[in-house]
């Protein structure tokens, strides 16, 4: 059964569940929210729906109901690899089912058939100023490929509404197929000799990225597969996911929508945080010229806080425990680079910083998030160009947001249109409640 057949089989039941819920319980209140939340970035307002992933405050992410450790165990792996096929992950995100090895390989095969990046994308990248940020180039490349959109073409021809998702699936497979090559091209152009390494048809999607980056250590293939799994989705309220959904809700195709999501990911409060973390670790390391002692690190952490800065990689808007995406990377590091100084330092920070943040008493979550360690693993394999890390995050995140976009079309999710109020209106609401 192809991925399209699977969705075709599942859709009637999902559409019926949604229809019944809205018909029978459409008036039921899900949440009430406060003026502080209206001004405060809609934090915690329960107003989005996705079945692709869910972040439990105490447990962290589940993709389609599975924890990260369950996924690392259950998803099929290429022969000789420790980490699963990204194609199998994409199958799971879209269909909700753990694929067989053959099903995971089928997605990998689809990707190979659709992977050729149009020459105009490379030409466009090359015409940009050489110090353009790699995220700008990456987002531009995704947007440029909108030219290829099947959804946009069929929509203009008058496609039937209940088949929108089929065009979205086609576009999503076409787009995701090309991401490793586009990203690696940008990397080689900006940071290496500009000579592009051709994809190896024998390698899977994640391993091919590692190969085209030019990293010789074969373990980097596993790290790439792990990285792409961990960063793919984080429910729907984060900036990249929400921006993609919002733009897609106007029936913009996945190229427009994903490019918008990448633009959000480029922000310092979102995807850019991983490079801040590595920078902080390297600053510590350079100050002491070696891995510092626990006491030295404690002092450094307090100095950072006392100078009014945050300790990057620690804290989370939703989570209240160590991010399992952090733990998965820590385990990888312990296995493959236990003697690497920067990795050792990142592990030591885990022993020191939560207690410092607890004593300071401001952060609601003193535990590490995904960004606290990802940079140090990349650094170990020689990918030391911080600016590029968000591009890898983007490669991965498009897997999740496109899976969501396919389902948003399949369930006919409407254009987003929240209501805004003026400050005097909110003042009036505040006054009325006070009087009451």
Ligand X SMILES: CC(C)(COP(=O)(O)OP(=O)(O)OC[C@H]1O[C@@H](n2cnc3c(N)ncnc32)[C@H](O)[C@@H]1OP(=O)(O)O)[C@@H](O)C(=O)NCCC(=O)NCCS
Given the complex with ligand X, which of 136 and 360 has the nearer CB atom?
A: 360
Shortest gap between Cβ of 343 and ligand X (angstroms)?
18
Shortest gap between Cβ of 314 and ligand X (angstroms)?
4
Q: What is the DSSP string of 184-220?
A: HHHHHHHHS-SPPPPP-TTS-HHHHHHHHHT---THH
How many angstroms from the chain centroid is the CA of residue 421?
32
380 has catalytic annotation: no
How many angstroms from the chain centroid is the CA of residue 8?
26
The dihedral through the CA atoms of 19, 21, 25, 31 has a sign that is negative
Q: Are 82 and 220 in contact (CB under 8 A)?
A: no
- DSSP secondary structure letter of residue 285: H
Angle between helix 389-410 and helix 371-380 axes, rounded to 10 deg: 130
**Distance, CA of 191 to CA of 185 (rounded, Å):** 10
Place of tokens 């490793």: 180
Given the complex with ligand X, which of 134 and 315 has the nearer CB atom?
A: 315
Structure tokens at 171: 């576009």
Shortest gap between Cβ of 316 and ligand X (angstroms)?
5
Nearest-CB residue for ligand X: 315
Shortest gap between Cβ of 276 and ligand X (angstroms)?
7
Given the complex with ligand X, which of 106 and 365 has the nearer CB atom?
A: 365
Q: Of 234, 270, 336, 380, which residue is the catalytic one?
A: 270
Given the complex with ligand X, which of 76 and 312 has the nearer CB atom?
A: 312
233 touching ligand X, by CB under 6 A: no
Give the residue from 309, 317, 300 showing the smallest Cα distance to 241. 317
Query: What would the x/- binding string for ligand X be over residues 247 to 276, using CB under 6 A?
Result: ----------------------x---x---
**Distance, CA of 50 to CA of 46 (rounded, Å):** 11
Given the complex with ligand X, which of 11 and 317 has the nearer CB atom?
A: 317
* Position among 279, 294, 358, 362 found at the interface with ligand X (CB under 6 A): 362
394 touching ligand X, by CB under 6 A: no
78 touching ligand X, by CB under 6 A: no
Angle between helix 239-249 and helix 254-265 axes, rounded to 10 deg: 150
61 touching ligand X, by CB under 6 A: no
Place of tokens 């209240």: 320
* Position among 55, 61, 72, 363 found at the interface with ligand X (CB under 6 A): 363
How many angstroms from the chain centroid is the CA of residue 178?
17
**Distance, CA of 313 to CA of 275 (rounded, Å):** 10
234 has catalytic annotation: no
**Distance, CA of 229 to CA of 64 (rounded, Å):** 13
**Distance, CA of 198 to CA of 200 (rounded, Å):** 6
- For 228, the enclosing helix (H) or strand (E) is helix 219-230
Shortest gap between Cβ of 162 and ligand X (angstroms)?
37
Shortest gap between Cβ of 300 and ligand X (angstroms)?
13
Shortest gap between Cβ of 309 and ligand X (angstroms)?
7
The dihedral through the CA atoms of 70, 71, 76, 81 has a sign that is negative
Q: Are 273 and 371 in contact (CB under 8 A)?
A: yes
Query: What would the x/- binding string for ligand X be over residues 140 to 179, using CB under 6 A?
Result: ----------------------------------------
Structure tokens at 248: 């897609």
- DSSP secondary structure letter of residue 51: S
Q: Which of these segments, 119-127, 155-163, 241-249, 303-311, binds ligand X (CB under 6 A)?
A: 303-311
364 touching ligand X, by CB under 6 A: yes
Instruction: Name the 3-class secondary structure at 63.
Output: strand
263 has catalytic annotation: no
Q: Which of these segments, 205-213, 222-230, 244-252, 306-314, binds ligand X (CB under 6 A)?
A: 306-314
Q: Which of these segments, 122-130, 170-178, 212-220, 304-312, binds ligand X (CB under 6 A)?
A: 304-312
- DSSP secondary structure letter of residue 148: G
* Position among 266, 365, 386, 402 found at the interface with ligand X (CB under 6 A): 365
369 touching ligand X, by CB under 6 A: yes
Query: What would the x/- binding string for ligand X be over residues 308 to 347, using CB under 6 A?
Result: --xxxxxxxx------------------------------
Shortest gap between Cβ of 238 and ligand X (angstroms)?
8
Q: How many residues bind ligand X (CB under 6 A)?
A: 18
371 touching ligand X, by CB under 6 A: yes
Given the complex with ligand X, which of 168 and 230 has the nearer CB atom?
A: 230
Q: Which of these segments, 91-99, 357-365, 387-395, 422-430, binds ligand X (CB under 6 A)?
A: 357-365
**Tally: H helices and E strands in the chain:** 20, 2
Q: Could you list the residues that contact ligand X (CB under 6 A)?
A: 269, 273, 305, 310-317, 357, 362-365, 369, 371
Catalytic residue set = 270, 316, 371
């Amino acid at each position: 059964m192809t991925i399209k057949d699977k969705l075709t089989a599942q859709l009637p039941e999902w559409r019926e569940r949604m229809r019944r819920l809205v018909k029978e319980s459409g008036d039921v209140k899900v949440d009430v929210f406060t003026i502080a939340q209206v001004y405060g970035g809609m934090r915690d307002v329960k107003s989005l729906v996705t079945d692709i992933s869910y972040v439990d405050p105490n447990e962290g992410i589940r993709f389609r109901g599975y924890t990260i450790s369950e996924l690392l165990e259950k998803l099929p792996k290429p022969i000789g690899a420790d980490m699963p096929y990204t194609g199998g992950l994409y199958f799971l995100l879209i269909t909700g089912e753990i694929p067989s090895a053959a099903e995971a390989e089928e997605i990998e095969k689809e990707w190979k058939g659709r992977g050729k990046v149009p020459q105009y994308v490379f030409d466009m990248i090359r015409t940009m100023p050489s110090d353009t940020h790699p995220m700008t180039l990456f987002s531009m490349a995704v947007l440029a490929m909108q030219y290829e959109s099947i959804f946009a073409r069929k929509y203009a021809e008058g496609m039937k509404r209940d088949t929108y998702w089929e065009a979205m699936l086609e576009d999503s497979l076409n787009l995701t197929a090309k991401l490793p090559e586009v990203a690696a091209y940008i990397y080689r152009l900006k940071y290496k000799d500009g000579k592009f390494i051709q994809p190896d048809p024998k390698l899977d999607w994640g391993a091919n990225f590692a190969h085209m980056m030019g990293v010789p250590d074969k373990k980097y293939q596993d790290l790439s597969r792990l990285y792409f799994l961990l960063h793919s989705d984080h429910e729907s309220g984060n900036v990249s996911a929400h921006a993609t959904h919002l733009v897609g809700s106007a029936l913009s195709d996945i190229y427009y929508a994903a490019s918008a999501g990448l633009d959000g990911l480029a922000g310092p409060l979102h995807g850019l945080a991983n490079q801040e973390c590595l920078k902080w670790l390297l600053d510590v390391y350079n100050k002491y010229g070696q891995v510092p002692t626990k006491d030295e690190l404690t002092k450094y952490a307090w100095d950072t806080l006392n100078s009014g800065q945050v300790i990057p990689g620690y804290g989370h808007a939703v989570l209240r425990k160590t991010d399992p995406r952090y733990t998965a990377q820590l385990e990888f590091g312990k296995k493959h680079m236990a003697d690497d100084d920067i990795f050792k330092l990142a592990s030591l920070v885990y022993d020191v910083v939560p207690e410092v943040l607890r004593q300071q008493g401001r952060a609601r979550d003193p535990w590490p998030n995904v960004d606290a360690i990802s940079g140090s693993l990349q650094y170990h394999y020689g990918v030391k160009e911080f600016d590029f890390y968000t591009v890898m995050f983007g490669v991965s995140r498009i897997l999740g947001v496109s899976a969501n976009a396919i389902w948003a079309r399949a369930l006919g999710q409407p254009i987003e249109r929240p209501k805004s109020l003026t400050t005097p209106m909110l003042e009036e609401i505040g006054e009325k409640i006070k009087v009451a």
